Amino acid sequence: MARIVVDPITRIEGHLRIDCNVQNGKVDNAWSSGQMWRGIEIILKNRDPRDAWIYTQRICGVCTTVHAVVSVRAVENALNMEVPLNAQYIRNMIIAAHGIHDHMVHFYHLSALDWVDVVSALSADPKKAASLAQSLSDWPNNTWQEFKAVQDKLKGFVASGQLGIFANGYWGHPAMKLPAEVNLLAAAHYLQAFEYQRKANKITTILGSKTPHIQNMAVGGVSNPINPDSEDALNFERLAYIKAMIDEVGSFIHNVYLTDVTAVAAFYKDWLNYGKGVVNYLSVPEFPVDTKGTQFLLPGGYIPNGNVGAFEPIKSFNDALFEDNVKESIKHAWYDGEWDRHPYEEDTVPKYTDFQDDGKYSWVKAPSFKGKPAQVGPLANVLGMYAAGHEGTQKYVNLALSKVSALAGEKVGVGALHSTLGRHAARCVRTALLYDVLVQNYNLLIENMAKGDFATFNKPEFPSGEQRGFGFHEAPRGTLSHWVVINNGKIKNYQAVVPSTWNAGPRGSGDELGPYEASLVGNPIADEKKPLEVLRTIHSFDPCLACAIHLHDNENQDISKVSVW
Amino acid sequence: MSSYFPDSEMKTESPVSGVSRRDFLKFCTIMTATMGLPAGMVEKVMAAVENPKRPPVIWLHFQECTGCTESLLRATHPTVEHLVLDIISLDYSETLCAAAGHQVEEALHASVEANKGNFILVVEGSIPTADNGIYCKIGGKTAMEILKDIGPKAAACVAIGSCASWGGVQSAYPNPTGATGVSELLKEVPVINLPGCPASPYNILSTILYYLTLKKLPALDGEGRPVFAYGRLIHENCERRPHFDNGRFAEEFGDEGHRQGYCLYKLGCKGPETHANCPSILFGDVGSNAWPVGTGHPCFGCAEKGVGFHKPIHEQAAVYTVAPPATYPDFDEPKGKGIGVGAALVVGAAAGAAVAGGLKFSKVLKESDNSEEKKN
The string of DSSP codes covering A228-278 is: TT-SSSB-HHHHHHHHHHHHHHHHHIIIIIHHHHHHHHHHTGGGGTS----
- A182-186, A260-264, A350-354: segment of lowest average pLDDT: A350-354
Strand-by-strand arrangement of the B120-124 sheet: B89-92, B56-61, B120-124, B156-160, B191-194
Using pLDDT thresholds of 50, 70 and 90, give the confidence band for residue A28: very high
| Max avg pLDDT among A304-318, A549-563, B22-36, B63-77 | A304-318
A428 assigned to active site: no
pLDDT at B337 over 60: no
**DSSP codes, B165-190:** HH-GGGGSTT-TT-EE-GGGT--SS-
- Look at residue A198 in the predicted model and tell me its pLDDT: 97
CB atoms within 10 A of CB B153: 21
- Look at residue B352 in the predicted model and tell me its pLDDT: 45
d(CA A377, CA A102): 13
d(CA B72, CA B90): 13
Contact residues, chain A, for B96 at CB < 8 Å: 10-11, 109, 165
- Look at residue B327 in the predicted model and tell me its pLDDT: 61
Q: Which residues lie closer than 8 Å to B8 by C-beta, 6 or more apart?
A: none
Point out which residues pair with A480 in neighbouring strands: A473
- Look at residue B2 in the predicted model and tell me its pLDDT: 28
d(CA A235, CA A227): 6
A60 assigned to active site: yes
A20 assigned to active site: no
Using pLDDT thresholds of 50, 70 and 90, give the confidence band for residue A27: very high
- A177-191, A502-516, B313-327: segment of lowest average pLDDT: B313-327
pLDDT at A350 over 90: no
- Look at residue A322 in the predicted model and tell me its pLDDT: 98
- Look at residue A559 in the predicted model and tell me its pLDDT: 24
Task: Return the ∠ at Cα A558 (arms to A553 and A559), rounded to 5°.
Answer: 115
Spans of all domains in chain A = 2-543+552-561
Q: Which helix (H) or strand (E) holds A444?
A: helix A420-450
pLDDT at A236 over 70: yes
pLDDT at B343 over 70: no
pLDDT at A389 over 80: yes
Which amino acid type is present at position B301?
G
- A3-17, A205-219, A383-397: segment of lowest average pLDDT: A3-17
| Max avg pLDDT among A185-189, A494-498, B100-104 | A185-189
What are the distances in angstroms from CA B182 to CA A14, A321, B12, B179, B204?
Answer: 19, 46, 29, 10, 16
Q: Which residues 53-72 of B are in CB contact (within 8 Å) with A?
A: 53-54, 56, 61-71
Using pLDDT thresholds of 50, 70 and 90, give the confidence band for residue A554: very low
CA nearest to A224, candidates A236, A207, A237: A207
Using pLDDT thresholds of 50, 70 and 90, give the confidence band for residue B321: low
d(CA A91, CA A321): 25
CA nearest to A313, candidates A278, A284, A281: A284
Instruction: Tell if the CB–CB gap between B66 and A119 is shorter than 8 Å.
Output: no
Instruction: Tell if the CB–CB gap between B66 and A14 is shorter than 8 Å.
Output: yes
**H-state helical runs in chain B:** 7-11, 21-34, 42-50, 67-73, 80-82, 101-114, 143-150, 161-166, 201-214, 227-230, 234-237, 241-245, 256-259, 278-281, 342-357, 361-375
- Look at residue B180 in the predicted model and tell me its pLDDT: 97
d(CA A327, CA A136): 45
Give the distance from residue B368's alpha carbon to the nearest chain A alpha carbon, in angstroms: 25
Compute the residue count for chain B.
Answer: 376
A50 CB near a chain B CB, below 8 Å? yes
**Interaxial angle between packed helices A420-450 and A85-105, expressed in degrees from 0 to 180 and rounded to the nearest 10:** 150
Q: Which residue of A has its CA nearest to B302?
A: A54
- Look at residue B104 in the predicted model and tell me its pLDDT: 86
Q: Which of A11, A15, A17, A67 is labelled catalytic?
A: A67
**For chain A, percent of residues with pLDDT exceeding 90:** 79
pLDDT at B56 over 60: yes
Point out which residues pair with A562 in neighbouring strands: A3
Give the distance from residue A353's alpha carbon to the nearest chain B alpha carbon, in angstroms: 13
Instruction: Tell if the CB–CB gap between B170 and A40 is shorter than 8 Å.
Output: yes
* B201-252 confidence digits (pLDDT tens): 999 999 999 998 898 999 999 999 999 999 999 999 999 999 998 899 999 9
Cβ–Cβ under 8 Å, residues B284 and A210 = yes
Q: Over range A140-155, report the average pLDDT.
A: 96
The CATH H-level superfamily of A2-543+552-561 is Cytochrome-c3 Hydrogenase, chain B (1.10.645.10)
DSSP for residue B19: -
Q: Which residues 240-279 of B are in CB contact (within 8 Å) with A?
A: 240, 252-254, 258-261
Q: Where in chain B is the domain with CATH 3.40.50.700?
A: 52-230
pLDDT at A179 over 60: yes
- Look at residue B361 in the predicted model and tell me its pLDDT: 46
Using pLDDT thresholds of 50, 70 and 90, give the confidence band for residue A60: confident
A33 assigned to active site: no
What are the distances in angstroms from CA A424 to CA A38, A137, A380, A385, A387?
Answer: 30, 19, 12, 16, 19
- Out of A35, A162, A226, the one facing B138 most closely (by C-beta) is A35
Q: Which of A477, A539, A550, A552 is labelled catalytic?
A: A477
- Look at residue A161 in the predicted model and tell me its pLDDT: 83
d(CA A71, CA A69): 6
Cβ–Cβ under 8 Å, residues B126 and B162 = no
Using pLDDT thresholds of 50, 70 and 90, give the confidence band for residue A55: very high
Q: Which residues lie closer than 8 Å to A520 by C-beta, 6 or more apart?
A: A18, A20, A27, A30, A275, A277, A534, A537, A538
Instruction: Tell if the CB–CB gap between A11 and B96 is shorter than 8 Å.
Output: yes
- A511-520, A525-534, B16-25: segment of lowest average pLDDT: B16-25
DSSP for residue B91: E
Cβ–Cβ under 8 Å, residues A84 and A455 = yes
B306 CB near a chain A CB, below 8 Å? no
Using pLDDT thresholds of 50, 70 and 90, give the confidence band for residue A10: confident
Using pLDDT thresholds of 50, 70 and 90, give the confidence band for residue A530: confident
Using pLDDT thresholds of 50, 70 and 90, give the confidence band for residue B19: low
Q: Where in chain B is the domain with CATH 4.10.480.10?
A: 234-375
> How far is residue A400 CA from its own chain's centroid?
19
**For chain B, percent of residues with pLDDT exceeding 70:** 78
Give the distance from residue A520's alpha carbon to the nearest chain B alpha carbon, in angstroms: 17
- Look at residue B323 in the predicted model and tell me its pLDDT: 61
- Look at residue A473 in the predicted model and tell me its pLDDT: 98
- Look at residue B7 in the predicted model and tell me its pLDDT: 33
Which of the following CATH numbers is that of domain B234-375: 3.40.50.300, 2.160.10.10, 2.30.40.10, 4.10.480.10? 4.10.480.10
Helix (H, G, I), strand (E, B) or coil at A377: coil
- B81-95, B99-113, B201-215, B220-234: segment of lowest average pLDDT: B99-113
Domain covering B52-230, topology: Rossmann fold (3.40.50)
A15 CB near a chain B CB, below 8 Å? yes
A500 assigned to active site: yes
Point out which residues pair with B20 in neighbouring strands: B13
Q: Over range A304-311, report the average pLDDT.
A: 96
Most A CBs within 10 Å: which of B24, B70, B142, as the mutation test of the A interface? B70
- A24-28, A287-291, B318-322, B334-338: segment of lowest average pLDDT: B334-338
pLDDT at B316 over 60: yes
Instruction: Tell if the CB–CB gap between A61 and B69 is shorter than 8 Å.
Output: yes
CB atoms within 10 A of CB B334: 8
- Look at residue B328 in the predicted model and tell me its pLDDT: 58
- Look at residue B330 in the predicted model and tell me its pLDDT: 60
What pTM did the predictor assign? 0.90
**Interaxial angle between packed helices A180-208 and A236-252, expressed in degrees from 0 to 180 and rounded to the nearest 10:** 160
Give the distance from residue B320's alpha carbon to the nearest chain A alpha carbon, in angstroms: 24
- Look at residue A563 in the predicted model and tell me its pLDDT: 23
- Look at residue B35 in the predicted model and tell me its pLDDT: 65
